[in-house]
Copies of this chain bind each other. A is one copy, B any other.
């Protein structure tokens, strides 16, 4: 079978952990050595080969996706990373993937699974087995996956199941997010959580899109993707197809599932770290909680955090942003992000650490006429060959060994060494070694914007950027 992973979400509900330019699917949460996207990739690889996986995402995440796939030990397949020119909700994104799959020989008859990149699922083998068991039903139905609920969650939509089918259930009704009382009734009456995961044959799905969402179908008849997305309506697969089609069935999944849709469900994800008063401390060495209950403190570590008398609070502390939120009001985190975006506050979009194809940089300090960064260059990678008009740069290598290119001359640059690069000089840093190369950069100048850069050569095609 083929799969489509939806990886274009900007994840504002988990701010400040998640920022527009590095949203939650790419985060390695505390206690996990892989990102949520990477865990999704590994899980989906139980359903087919890596060539069978299509990732629909937006342009901004291209290097992130490729980097995270390579970190798993695979080569990223450029043709399978489908970039949305603009965000038009899930139906255009999924149909884009289905069109790509259908275009290959025999593609129209393929079974396609659609999975979010930002859900946590426990028990990958059980998940894969339950998904694969649903394949026979795809000859007749578009399938949605319903998760057996474990609590009356108000943050999820629900599915009311109908009559039993071979290995599945008919869908009687889709239900919006309920209030607590309704959720308790749903739980009692055997409803399922609507997981936002789907499976269908490409041809059957295409027929239903043509019939039920003709605007989307027509848009994708355009000769290019940019026009298709420009013309496509903004519509979800649920609203556009699943809730309208009579050919929908549900596969029940008996798995641990969390959509990380708010800090309320995020809190539940860490239940194994919960103490007898309901408190969860991530990076506990540095956190002190007194007279508190049902609260969570999630920090980056290296900071002394004291919480006294908290009840039902979530605290997320990062170097440049702090969230303190009552657990019953986590939906308002999105409002905070909206306010930050309206203020053009870069902390809505960027972490202090930003990722580049060659590695990452972290802003350590910004002053009037200086900026300090830590650069981390991955083994085998290099910065572009570049020059700045308005700033000099001072590099101190603090770990690893690299090659420094300065106006064409190459020298070895190793931990403890330093070099001064006056404004106007061409320079580049390469890491040909096997270890990370870490460099402290002190920039000095009257203008320190990222856009003061002239690139002469770049491994990552950013010369016109």
Contacts and interface: CB of A to CB of B under 8 A. Distances in A.
Interface of A: 15-16, 288, 290-291, 299, 302-310, 313, 315, 317, 319-326, 328-330, 332-333, 335-336, 339-340, 345, 347, 364-365, 367-370, 372, 374, 392, 394, 396, 398-399, 415-416, 418, 420, 438, 440, 442, 444-445
A364 B440 CA distance: 12
Which secondary structure dominates chain A's binding surface?
Answer: strand
Contacts of A396: 370, 394, 442, 444
B308 A336 contact: yes
Contact of A306 (B333, B364, B374): B333
B336 A368 contact: no
Nearest to A317: B322
A329 B308 contact: yes
Contacts of A416: 369, 392, 444-445
A316 to B, nearest CB: 9
Contact of A309 (B320, B329, B365): B329
Nearest to A285: B343
A321 B305 contact: yes
A302 B418 CA distance: 30
A440 B371 CA distance: 10
20 contacts: A16-B304, A288-B339, A291-B326, A291-B329, A303-B321, A303-B322, A308-B333, A308-B336, A309-B325, A315-B322, A315-B324, A322-B322, A324-B324, A367-B438, A369-B416, A370-B398, A370-B440, A392-B416, A394-B394, A396-B442
A334 to B, nearest CB: 11
Nearest to A328: B309
B326 A308 contact: yes
Residue among A315, A368, A398, A438 with max Cβ neighbours from chain B (10 Å):
A398
Given A288-B340, A418-B420, 9 more contacts: A290-B335, A303-B322, A304-B322, A306-B322, A306-B336, A364-B372, A365-B365, A365-B372, A416-B444
A415 B368 CA distance: 11
A339 to B, nearest CB: 6
A94 to B, nearest CB: 33
B370 A365 contact: no
A435 to B, nearest CB: 12
Interface-central residue, A368, A396, A420, A445, by most chain B CB under 10 Å: A396
B370 A394 contact: no
B324 A306 contact: yes
Nearest to A348: B304
Nearest to A339: B288
Contacts of A305: 321-322, 324
A336 B290 contact: yes
4 closest Cβ pairs, A-B complex: A309-B326, A309-B329, A308-B325, A370-B398
Contacts of A307: 324-325
Contacts of A340: 288, 304
A364 B137 CA distance: 59
Given A304-B340, A372-B372, A394-B394, A310 B290 contact: no
A415 B444 contact: yes
Contacts of A303: 319-322
Contact of A313 (B302, B324, B368, B420): B324
B291 A306 contact: no
Among A322, A345, A418, A442, the one with the most B-chain Cβ atoms within 10 Å of its Cβ is A322
Contacts of A398: 367-370, 442, 444
A370 B364 CA distance: 13
A330 B290 CA distance: 11
A321 to B, nearest CB: 4
A215 B239 CA distance: 85
B442 A442 contact: yes
A444 B440 CA distance: 11
A369 B414 CA distance: 13
Contact of A308 (B321, B332, B345, B438): B332
A369 B367 CA distance: 24
Contacts of A322: 299, 303-306, 315, 317, 322
Contacts of A328: 309
Contacts of A394: 394, 396, 418
A220 B51 CA distance: 87
A398 B321 CA distance: 26
